[in-house]
Structure 1
Amino acid sequence: MSTPPTRQTQSYLRGLFAQRGLSPRHRLGQNFLIDLNLHDVIAETAVVGPGDLVLEVGTGAGALTSLMAERGAEVLAVELDPGMFELAREATAGAKVRILNVDALAGKHAIEPQVLDALREARGAENRPYKLVANLPYNIATPLIMNLLVDDAIRPELMVVTIQKELAERMTAAAATSDHGALSVLIQALADVEIARILPPSVFWPRPKVESAVVSIRPVPERREAIGDLAWFHRIVREVFLYRRKNLRHVLSGVERDRWTKADVDVLLASLGLDGRLRAEALQVDEWITLTKALKAQWPDAPPPEIEAVDEDDE
């Protein structure tokens, strides 16, 4: 059997899929990147090179996987579709690649244990740093990124992912803009986030209905330390943004409503130099950190819920 090419063009994929009786599955968010130069852009943005450990989710037919392996990286790949799993195994035969045929998520709020076990094994006793580099299926992008970002034990040193442009714009949105929301605050409080490239639908097959973006997310440990209780920070940001059309004074008076009054809210906000007439989207990330810490100091016994991924309708 001839070795499958690393550079998988649309014509090559069409022929291969027809030969194997396969077709792209919309339910799994399968849109294959067919602009060959953009695979290089993703790998270069992630600075993938010799000695790197890379987690890739949504491997597809293995084009990006093969490219990263060729650049000297060890790749732990995850592919849910059995047909794509077999194609990726053939494309990466002989390379330093391990592919898991599982769903990367065990539900909305947790990474699949089999993926975590394989990642721990690859990282070894020294807890080797790793990168997430992937053309992510749109339907898992937010929960996967957030689950990796908030867990100190499995947080990657860098994420370079292809996601919906709309989601990328929300992640990078500045305060006081229409796209700024809970997701913007939570990610920017933990990482440097930037859009590296906008991708039109024409560079994928099948063509999605929306534009995409290559996004770089680099966690900043010092920011994580500054937040303190991350679950509490997460809870307050999400609760306030659930009522983003209400002013800060009104929304905060409903948080732990049995434990303080609007007059108490006024006193606290004044002590922090915050205007209670502002809406949630007006606050800068450092102001959110100051506010959530002050609330935690006021109610040190208030139990936060488990951290959850930010839903689209949370905002």
Structure 2
Amino acid sequence: MAERQTATYLNERFIAAGLRPLTRFGQNFLIDLNLLDLIARSAEMQKTDVVLEVGTGMGSLTTRLAEAAGAIVTVEIDDNLAELSQAELEQYPHVLQLHCDALKNKHTLAPELMDNVRKALQSLGESARFMLVANLPYNIATPLISNLLAGDPPPDRMVVTIQKEMADRLVAAPGSKDYGALSVWVQSQCAVEIVRVMPPQVFWPRPKIDSAIVRIDLQPERRAAIADLKFFHETVRALFFHRRKLLRSVTCSAFKGRLSKPEVDQTLQAAGYSGTERTEQLTVDQIIELCEHLRQAVS
């Protein structure tokens, strides 16, 4: 039963089915049941919430989410795990399991993912919230979170387990080694906190690195203040592509063919910069303002 997801239980189930965890799918199962409960509690779900879970696994977290949320869309890419977990989830009519890759490609979600989330939101009414709650496979965590924040609707809340290294990037401050495009993209729209750092031994099989539970709460007023999300996202990535170069140099490179060097100089000056700064020194709000100056200059 999914409620008893321990290392012994999982090992026995896999042996009985003639299976083994697949590294290419990032299959590391959380076996500390207290931490599974912590993930569910941290989401603070209500019966009007639609929860997206990526990585159903054996359904241990899914069943906890199903007790609290109004609807669950859970996604599993592995044929065998999808079959095993479906037996655990049959008792929950409000849980829909999709058997697919959550990503169509690096920059695009699988269409059926959000199609089913939108249907569930519509069925639960205007007060429905959208959440991502999952023990994420490490190899898709960054593109999944980034693409969801670029989508419509974005999640009102995300509570996920990810690599500790990625968690550090999400909460990083300007000037630190972890501060980069992902930090700015997420912090420009959300409040982020690390809920708990987790050692390898709470997973089966054990990963080689620490993990973390992270809570990300959308701040609609900050998101609405960004005039063009697509332009902002692309510009932030470009500005951090050569993070050690001077601001004038990376801006000229990012806008080659769209802005001349004198136009770049004029735009940076209007934004209050000499061009000798580095992108990694700028705060999130400063980068938002700079990107808006660049957007207006291009348009």
Structure 1: gaps spanning 5 or more residues: 301-315
Contact 1:250/1:262, CA 8 A, preserved across alignment: no
Report deviation, 1:275: 4.1
Give 1:12's aligned residue. 9
Q: 1:138 to 1:259 in 2, by over 3 A?
A: closer
Give 1:239's aligned residue. 238
TM, length-normalised to structure 2: 0.93
Contact 2:191/2:219, CA 8 A, preserved across alignment: yes
Q: 1:257 to 1:132 in 2, by over 3 A?
A: closer
Residues of 2 paired with 1:215 and 1:100: CA distance? 24
Structure 2: gaps spanning 5 or more residues: none
Residues of 1 paired with 2:105 and 2:178: CA distance? 27
1:47-100 deviations in Å (ceiling 9; x for gaps): 124343211110100000011112354221111111111221112221231111
Give 2:249's aligned residue. 250
Residues of 2 paired with 1:254 and 1:136: CA distance? 35
Q: Name which of structure 1's ranges 288-297 and 267-276 shifts more when overlaid on structure 2.
A: 267-276
SS of alignment partner, residue 130 of structure 1: strand
Which amino acid is 1:139 matched to? N
Give 1:112's aligned residue. 110
Q: 1:285 to 1:10 in 2, by over 3 A?
A: same
Matched, 1:288 2:291: no
Give 1:169's aligned residue. 168
Which amino acid is 2:285 matched to? D
Q: 1:72 to 1:190 in 2, by over 3 A?
A: closer
Report deviation, 1:259: 5.8
Contact 2:43/2:157, CA 8 A, preserved across alignment: yes
Report deviation, 1:198: 0.5
Give 2:134's aligned residue. 134
Which amino acid is 1:141 matched to? A
Report deviation, 1:256: 3.1
Contact 2:51/2:73, CA 8 A, preserved across alignment: yes
1:108-136 deviations in Å (ceiling 9; x for gaps): 11111222222222112646322110000
Aligned with 1:88 (options 79, 85, 89)? 85
Q: 1:254 to 1:25 in 2, by over 3 A?
A: closer
Contact 1:176/1:281, CA 8 A, preserved across alignment: yes
Q: 1:287 to 1:241 in 2, by over 3 A?
A: same
Q: Name which of structure 1's ranges 63-72 and 157-166 shifts more when overlaid on structure 2.
A: 63-72
Matched, 1:30 2:27: yes
Report deviation, 1:172: 1.0
Give 1:44's aligned residue. 41
Give 1:310's aligned residue. none
Contact 2:51/2:69, CA 8 A, preserved across alignment: no
Residues of 2 paired with 1:83 and 1:111: CA distance? 22
